[in-house]
Amino acid sequence: MKSKQNNHSKSKHHFPLFLALALTMGVFAAGSEELVISPLLPDLADAFNSNVSVLALSISIYGIMIFIGAPLLVPLGDKYSRELSLMLGLVIFIIGTVICALAQNIFFFFLGRALSGLAAGAFVPTAYAVVGDRVPYTYRGKVMGLIVSSWSLALIFGVPIGSFIGGVLHWRWTFWIFALMGALVVLLILFEMRRHNDNKNNSLEEKEEPAGTFRDALKVPRVPVYIIITFCNMIGFYGMYSFLGSYLQDVFAGGNTAAGLFIMIYGIGFSMSVITGKIADRIGKMRSLVIALAVISVLLACIAYAPASMPLLIISLFIWGLMQSLTVTLLSTILSDCSERHRGKIMAFYSLASNLAVTLGSALMGPVYVEYGYTAVGFICAGITVLGLGLSIFAYRKYGIHDQKADHSLYQ
């Protein structure tokens, strides 16, 4: 009995390479397919004898289906198994992507986009929940950082590569490649399922509890406050980020090229979440979140003034990307650690809060930007982020013992 426990303990502290690779690649594929539509819109409009504004509805359809997919499919992971939710999301993703690649009219293309969005709504929050289930706390921040960084990698590499393939070959090949990537993730998940089942057979069986409801998930300590912090952070981020390109185009003569280069600097900072997540593992996640939100609050209030100095602008954008990636990593990790029983539903709430903030952030700040300029947007977004900062300080003071216990276990 004791030897089995020791073997299980050792396996739990082994870095889950294939699992991390599968989840990172899956989120990268979902993020790339979501974002790649923008540069493909003219080709799609020509192919379906329509116009860009109509094809742009495929982006909205994708987002709406994410809202439906998260509460509809993620609970299957809590009730049955995370692998079921992941595999279901991947199968729907592959089917939707193949329909997009084969579509001969706009109706079937929209259908494929709807299925892909439904799949992303299931896969992404379940991926976060799986990290909480399978990854030892020692490596959790690092693995979550890998997954979070895959969003920025999708922006920096996935979209340009997908756009290049669409231009050189055909836009349909872009979707075929994403479908093949989804199939590869399926194989990695199947391998991980087999490995996990072998470890489970060699360990003590634990009694499973009923999955509970979404209402039960919101009653878990720390969950409501960190969901609200997520909402505040993401509204502040998207409200500011949505108009960064337009602002930089107005400031610099280079137009789209100059704005794109500066935004890439932000993306490079964001891609450092693997490193920042590892550091946060050492100094405490809840404590690190307070620091990150404080830095972001200052940057959002000041970044509109940064173009007065080129080095200051570059440093500000890089640090903003660095701190934002750290914040997203920390919030997803903290929430995934709140409850094993309700983990899938908690991460569904996290995904819904993020996506709602994406919609509201750009919608609310648009009129402010047009009427009062980017400086006003920065102050409002900074104020919303400060609200999240205040809540994070409150949460750290009330629940900081969780951070201390985690830090202690990290070095045992």
The fraction of the chain above a pLDDT of 70, given in percent, is 79
Q: Identify the CA nearest to 202 among candidates 3, 19, 341, 14.
A: 3
| Domains, the chain, ordered by start | 16-201 (1.20.1250.20), 214-410 (1.20.1250.20)
Tokens representing 299? 């940057």
Angle at CA of residue 30, ends 199 and 184, nearest 5° = 50
Tokens representing 104? 């001969």
User: What sign for the dihedral angle of Cα 336, 337, 343, 349?
Assistant: negative
Where do runs of H (alpha helix) occur along 205-284? Answer: 214-218, 223-241, 244-251, 256-270, 273-283
Spatial contact of 157 and 268, defined as CB atoms under 8 Å apart? no
Q: What are phi and psi of 189, to 5 degrees?
A: -65, -40
Residues in the chain: 412
Residue 143 pLDDT level (bands cut at 50, 70, 90): confident
Q: Which of 30-34, 107-111, 406-410 has the lowest mean pLDDT?
A: 406-410
User: How large is the average pLDDT for residues 76-102?
Assistant: 86
pLDDT at 71 over 80: no
User: What sign for the dihedral angle of Cα 88, 89, 94, 98?
Assistant: positive
The enclosing H or E element of 73 equals helix 57-73
pLDDT at 300: 95
Angle at CA of residue 97, ends 123 and 135, nearest 5° = 20
Where do runs of H (alpha helix) occur along 303-373? Answer: 310-336, 343-372
pLDDT at 199 over 90: no
Q: How many CB atoms lie within 10 A of CB 370?
A: 10
pLDDT at 8: 42
Q: How far is CA 1 from CA 30, 36, 271, in A?
A: 43, 52, 44
pLDDT digits (tens, 9 = 90+) for 349-407: 887 787 777 667 777 887 888 889 889 999 999 999 999 999 999 999 888 765 554 44
pLDDT at 319: 93
CA–CA separation, 373 and 148 (whole Å): 30
Q: How far is CA 137 from CA 222, 400, 408, in A?
A: 18, 16, 11
Measured over all CA atoms, what is the biggest interatomic distance in the chain, rounded to whole angstroms? 71
Three-state secondary structure call for residue 290:
helix
Tokens representing 206? 């634990």
Angle at CA of residue 409, ends 188 and 19, nearest 5° = 5
* More reliable by pLDDT, 185 or 279: 185
pLDDT at 200: 58
Residue 408 pLDDT level (bands cut at 50, 70, 90): very low
Spatial contact of 141 and 329, defined as CB atoms under 8 Å apart? yes
The enclosing H or E element of 75 equals helix 75-79
CA–CA separation, 205 and 335 (whole Å): 25
Q: Identify the CA nearest to 318 among candidates 329, 330, 301, 306.
A: 306
Task: State the residue for tokens 């976060």.
Answer: 128
**Is the pTM value of this prediction over 0.95?**
no
Alpha carbons within 13 angstroms on the beta-carbon side of residue 40 total 32
CA–CA separation, 185 and 191 (whole Å): 10
pLDDT digits (tens, 9 = 90+) for 288-325: 899 999 999 999 999 989 888 888 989 999 999 889 88
Q: Which of 65-74, 87-96, 148-157 has the lowest mean pLDDT?
A: 148-157
The amino acid occupying position 376 is: A
CA–CA separation, 358 and 346 (whole Å): 19
* More reliable by pLDDT, 63 or 68: 68
